[in-house]
Amino acid sequence: MITFLFRNTERWNDTGATKLRLIPIGKILEGKYTNKTVTIRGWVYRKREGKDIIFILMRDATGVIQCTFRKDAEAWEEAEKATIESSATLTGTVKEDKRAPGGYEISGENLSIIGLAETFPIAKDKSEEFLRDVRHLWLRSRKMSLVMRVRDEVLWSVHECFRKKGFVEVSPPMFISSACEGGSTLFGLKYFDQDLFLTQSAQLYLEALIYSLEKVYCVAPSFRAEKSRTIRHLTEYWHVEPEQAFADVDDMMRLEEDLVSYVCRKVAQKCRKELVELGLDPEELARVKPPFPRVTYTEAVERLHKKGLRVKWGEDFGFDEERVLAEMFDKPVFVYGYPKQIKAFYCKTYPEKPDLAMSADLLVPRIGEITTGGSRVDDKDELIKRMKEFGLRPEDYEWYIDLRRYGTVPHAGFGLGVERLLAWMLKLENVMDAIPFPRTIRRFYP
C-alpha cells in the first residue's frame, strides 16, 4: 500500500516514478513550502462540502492544515468518500492564503484513504462524562494533544532539573508489603498466596538508596484508594519524588521552588505555541521564580480565621482552606511547621518545638496542595516510638528501621503530583484531564 512507502518523514521516497516528499504539517505552516508540491499523511479533522469544492482539514502530530479539492481534480471522488477521522495520504500544492486557518492551504491533487473511518462518535457539545467514556478517541482532540505535549515537556524538564543538580534516577518497586501513607488509601492485592499492596509513595525505598547515592529521585506511578471524588484526586497518579542525605525541610523547600520554577520556565519557553492555543499566557508561567513565600501552619490558621474560615489549630487543612490560602499569594506558597499528629509517622519534629513536624506543603490556586515533603526521623528509637503512636507494627518495617541502625544521617525528601502540577499550570478543571487514561473510584475504562 502507498502508505508504507512513506514511513519516514522529510525524506524522498525511493519508489521510482512519482518522487513525493512527505512533509510534517507543522513545517508547511512555517511557510517553507509555498508553491511547492508536498505530500502529507494524517487524519481528517474536519470536512465541509460545497457543490464544486470540498474543504478537508488534515491533522498530523505537528499541526492542522486546510486542503481543498475541486470538482475537476483527480482526487474528487476519494475526497467525497473521506469521513471524519479517516487516515489518508494527500498530495497537493501549498498556497499562502490569509483566509485559511494557519495562513496556508494545500490545493489537493491526490488523496489516498488509508483507513476509512466509521461515523466518529464525538461531535460538538458532548458532556465531559461522555468524553471520558471515549477517552481513547478524545485523546485525538486538539485540547488533549496540546495538554499531552506540555505534559511531556514537564516530565523532561523534571529529569533535566534533577540531573543538573546531581540527582540519580532510581526505580522503586510497585508491589509493597507495608504502608507509607496510612492504611486507609492502600490498594490490596493477592500476590500469589500473600496479601500485598500497590505503592502509595516510593519514599521509604528512596531512603534506602541515599546511603549509597546520597541524592536520588524517581518519577513513578503511585496508587491511592481514594474514595473522594474531587477535581484533584486520582487513584493512579504520577509521582515525582526526590530524597537527599544530609538535608532538611528548608533544603527541600529550596529544591521544590527551584524545580517548580524550572519546569514553568521550560514550558513557557518550549511550549509557547501550545500555551497560546490553550488560551494561556506564557509570561504568567515565566514569572514563577524563587523564592516562594513561606508561612507557618500557625500563621496560616490565623490568616484563615481572618477570612472567616473556622479551622481549629491542630486540624489538617482541606481543599477549601488550601485554596483560600493559595489565593492570598501571587506565587505558590509553602506552609510548614504542621502539628505532628496530622503528618506521617516518618516526619521529624523540630528539636525546639517537639509538637511541630519539619514538614512543608506547597499550595497553588485552584488545586491546593501539589507537594508534601520534609525531614525524616533519623533516630531508630524515635522512629519505633512514632510507629507505635500511629498504630503501626515496627516488625512490618524492620528493613526501614535498619536504615537507622547502620550509619543513619539526617535526610529529607518530598513528593510532587505530576497531574496536580500540570492542572495548575494549564488551569485545567480536573486532574483527570492531565493524564491520558485517568483512574478514579468510578473510572477505569478505557
Binding stretches for ligand 4AD (CB under 6 A) = 180-181, 200-201, 203, 224, 226, 233-234, 237, 239, 241, 369-373, 413-417, 419-420, 431
**Residue numbers 321-380 binding Mg ion by CB under 5 A:** 372
Q: Is 432 helix (H, G, I), strand (E, B) or coil?
A: helix
| Residue 304 binding: pick among Mg ion, ligand 4AD, none (C-beta 5-8 Å cut-off by kind) | none
Smallest CA-to-CA distance from 216 within 413, 370, 407 is with 413
Name the residue nearer to ligand 4AD (CB basis): 105 or 369.
369
Q: Which residue has the CB atom at the shortest distance from Mg ion?
A: 372
Task: State the binding partner of 295 from Mg ion, ligand 4AD, none, CB within 5 to 8 A by kind.
Answer: none
Question: What's the min distance (Å) between Cβ of 372 and Mg ion?
Answer: 3
Can you read off the three cell numbers belonging to residue 114? 488509508
Minimal distance, residue 195 CB to ligand 4AD, in Å: 21
Residue 168 bridge partners (DSSP): 216
Is the bond preceding 101 in cis, omega lying within 30 degrees of 0? no
Nearest CB to ligand 4AD, comparing residues 66 and 199: 199
> In this complex, which beta carbon is closest to Mg ion, that of residue 137 or of residue 311?
311
**Least Å from the CB of residue 228 to ligand 4AD:** 8
Closer residue to ligand 4AD in complex, CB, 93/408:
408
Place of cell 485545567: 428
Looking only at the bridges linking them, the beta strands covering 104-115 and 63-70 are: parallel
Nearest distance, CB of residue 381 and ligand 4AD, angstroms: 22
Partner interacting with residue 233 (select from Mg ion, ligand 4AD, none; CB below 5-8 Å by kind): ligand 4AD
Judged by beta carbon distances under 5 to 8 A according to partner kind, the member of ligand 4AD, Mg ion, none in contact with residue 417 is ligand 4AD
Rg of the Cα atoms in the chain: 27
Cβ closest to Mg ion, residue 239 vs residue 266 = 239
The grid coordinates of residue 141 equal 482532540
- In the complex, the smallest distance separating the C-beta of residue 290 from ligand 4AD, rounded to whole angstroms, is 19
Quote the least distance from Cβ 222 to ligand 4AD, whole Å: 7
What does 238 bind: ligand 4AD, Mg ion, none (CB cut-off 5 to 8 Å by kind)? Answer: none
Looking at the DSSP bridge assignments, the partners of residue 362 are 334, 371
Location of C-alpha cell 483527480: 74
190 exposed, middle or buried (CB, 10 Å; 0-12, 13-18, 19+)?
Answer: exposed
User: Rounded to an integer, what distance in angstroms lies between the CA atom of residue 398 and that of residue 396?
Assistant: 6
Q: How far is CA 240 from the centre of its chain?
A: 10
To the nearest whole angstrom, how small is the minimum distance from the Cβ of residue 74 to ligand 4AD? 53
Minimum CB separation of residue 294 from Mg ion in Å reads: 17
**Is the Cβ of residue 120 or residue 350 nearer to ligand 4AD in the bound state?**
350
Tell me if 329 sits within 8 A of 287, measured CB to CB. no
The one-letter amino acid at 440 = T
Q: Which is nearer to ligand 4AD, 42 or 417 (CB)?
A: 417
Q: Locate 445 and state its grid cell.
A: 475504562
Instruction: Give the contacts of 125 (CB within 8 A, at least 6 positions apart).
Output: none
Question: Where does 336-379 have alpha helices with state H?
Answer: none
Residue ranges in contact with Mg ion by CB under 5 A? 372
